[in-house]
């Protein structure tokens, strides 16, 4: 049985359970997703489209799916206090793939901002769900099709036209189970015209021995002249796997920043696809990875400039130690008839041990004149001259290593547009380079297995 076949059979055997209670917008796409999966094959390492990862083996294990939507016996407002210190947010939780608002989210008025589950939105804001769900997330991607087939709920974030969200929206995803589990997550964000918001999504895990897979799809629509920041921070454990696909539709004059940060994990595959569909749009796509042991972090990006007079800046940085593996495949496309585009792509990597491996493939396709575009990649080790200089000034070798690696990551951290989060990241990265596993010290579990 193939990795996909077991989940296709699961859906067919429990079709009514998957459909019951789910919004019609979700159920309408399941048939198309199923037909795509029946003829799909997962990417394998070394395939023609540049794969450094065998996704078939990642999905091969028999992960349980919470088909009957059983809840977890936990008071999330009391059990989890996972936030950036001193940063006031409207806080929401997702236990595996079930969403819960915290008391802080319920107490603070967001000035018209909507944050609700898909099941709630089907009754309160059906036009938003029907108009945007699944429109960006192409089902030609097998993992997106699998998510679309199995997802039974999701979270809608809507910032109406002209509204500025006073508080950042924070979503804390937590994996917790007594048996191997797949958390099928879906997130839809619609930022209205001239609206402004920031969102922080944190992935954590309470599992150190149980295998778990987070299979998630994020769709972001940024309307004309809107501003939106999306920060994705992963601090999980070595038993966790994550496959995440993020899609963005940018309209004219919009300003979007996407920042993916992996500090601790087991296996991670992040896909980013950004369609720049309006003039004078500005895109910042960046990320950083700190990996050690046998961690694996794979990033695939695609930015399509479909309109003239736009700007994009892309930068991903990796620091790999021990036997960690990193991969980056990035593609920027400037379509015909789109002059005055400025697009920059960079991938910079440090291998801090002889056993670490980095695979990288930047790509640039330009089909019009009068553009400014560049791309580049580097793979190297710590500067021996800089280490010698620092040691000659009495700085120990471990401290010197940490200082140089922090300096290497500084420009990615400095690009964060939330002051308290930027300061917190500096602290977390320093801890990580010092050998401490970055984890949320305020996260306390009282979770039990599902009823």
pLDDT band at residue 1, thresholds of 50, 70 and 90? Answer: low
The mean pLDDT value for 62-90 works out to: 70
pLDDT at 312: 97
- What is the rounded distance in angstroms from the CA atom of residue 302 to the CA atom of residue 329? 9
| Nearest-5° Cα angle at 242, 442 to 150 | 110
Mean pLDDT for the chain overall: 87
pLDDT at position 108 is 53
CA torsion angle 118 119 125 130 (round to 10): 60
| Cα three-residue angle 422-424-429, rounded to 5 degrees | 95
Which pLDDT does position 47 carry in this prediction?
A: 61
Average pLDDT over residues 167-190: 92
Average pLDDT of span 63-88: 68
Structure tokens at 130: 């029907």
- Span 128-137, mean pLDDT? 96
Q: What is the DSSP string of 281-334?
A: -EEEEEEEEEE-TT-EEEEEEEEEE-SSS-EEEEEEEEEE-TT-EEEEEEEEEE
Pairing status of strand 342-351 against strand 372-380? parallel
- The backbone region for 225, taken as left when phi is positive above 0, alpha when psi lies in -120 to 50, beta otherwise, is left
Residue 103 pLDDT class (50, 70, 90 cuts): low
Per-residue confidence (pLDDT) for residue 449, from 0 to 100:
35
Of 36-45, 253-262, 319-328, the least confident? 36-45
Identify any residues that bridge with 349 across adjacent strands, giving them in sequence order: 318, 379
Split at pLDDT 50, 70, 90, the class of 446 is: very low
What pLDDT sits at residue 81? Answer: 52
Token pair listed for 389? 């200089």
Q: Compare 343 and 435 and report the one with higher pLDDT.
A: 343
Rounded mean pLDDT, 264-278: 96
pLDDT digits over 141-176, tens only? 999 999 999 999 999 999 999 999 988 999 999 988
Whether 83 contacts 133, CB under 8 Å: no
pLDDT bin (cut points 50, 70, 90) of residue 447 is very low
- Whether residue 36 is predicted with pLDDT greater than 90 in this model: the reply is yes
Q: Which pLDDT band, with edges at 50, 70 and 90, does 284 fall under? A: very high
The domain limits of the chain are 5-433
Average pLDDT in the 233-242 region? 93
Structure-derived torsion over alpha carbons of residues 233, 61, 271, 45, reported in degrees to the nearest 10: 130
């Amino acid at each position: 049985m193939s990795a996909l076949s077991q989940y296709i059979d699961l859906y067919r055997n429990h079709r009514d359970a998957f459909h019951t209670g789910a919004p019609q917008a979700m159920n309408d796409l399941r048939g198309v997703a199923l037909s795509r999966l029946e003829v799909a094959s997962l990417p394998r390492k070394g395939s023609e489209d540049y794969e450094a990862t065998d996704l078939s083996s990642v999905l091969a294990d028999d992960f349980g799916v919470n088909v009957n939507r059983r809840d977890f016996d936990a008071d999330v407002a009391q059990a989890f206090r996972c936030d950036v210190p001193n940063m006031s947010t409207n806080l929401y939780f997702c236990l595996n793939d079930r969403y819960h608002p915290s008391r802080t989210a319920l107490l603070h008025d967001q000035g018209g901002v909507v944050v609700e589950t898909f099941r709630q939105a089907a009754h309160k804001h059906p036009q938003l769900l029907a108009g945007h769900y699944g429109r960006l997330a192409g089902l030609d991607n097998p993992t997106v099709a699998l998510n679309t087939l199995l997802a039974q709920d999701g979270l809608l974030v809507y910032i109406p036209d002209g509204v500025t969200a006073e508080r950042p929206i924070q979503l804390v995803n937590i994996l917790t189970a007594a048996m191997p589990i797949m958390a099928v997550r879906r997130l839809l964000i619609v930022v209205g015209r001239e609206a402004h918001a920031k969102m922080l999504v944190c992935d954590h895990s309470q599992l150190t021995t149980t295998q778990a897979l987070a299979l998630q799809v994020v769709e972001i629509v940024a309307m004309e002249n809107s501003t939106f920041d999306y920060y994705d921070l992963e601090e999980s454990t070595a038993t966790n796997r994550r496959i995440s696909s993020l899609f963005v539709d940018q309209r004219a004059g919009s300003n979007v920043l996407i920042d993916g940060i992996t500090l601790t994990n087991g296996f991670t595959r992040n896909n980013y696809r950004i369609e720049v569909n309006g003039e004078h749009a500005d895109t910042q796509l960046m990320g950083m990875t700190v990996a050690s042991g046998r961690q694996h972090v794979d990033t695939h990006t695609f930015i399509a400039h479909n309109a003239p007079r736009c700007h994009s800046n892309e930068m991903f940085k990796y620091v790999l130690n021990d036997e960690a593996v990193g991969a980056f495949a990035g593609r920027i496309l400037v379509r015909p008839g789109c002059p005055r585009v400025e697009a920059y792509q960079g991938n910079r990597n440090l291998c801090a041990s002889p056993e670490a491996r980095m695979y990288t493939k930047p790509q640039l396709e330009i089909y019009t004149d009068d553009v400014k575009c560049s791309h580049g990649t580097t793979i190297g080790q710590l500067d021996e001259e800089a280490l010698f200089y620092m040691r000659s000034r009495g700085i120990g070798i471990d401290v010197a290593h940490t200082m140089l690696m922090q300096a290497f990551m500084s420009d990615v951290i400095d690009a964060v547009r939330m002051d308290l989060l930027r300061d917190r990241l500096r602290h977390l990265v320093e801890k990580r380079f010092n050998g401490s596993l970055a984890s949320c010290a305020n996260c306390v579990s009282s979770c039990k297995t599902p009823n």
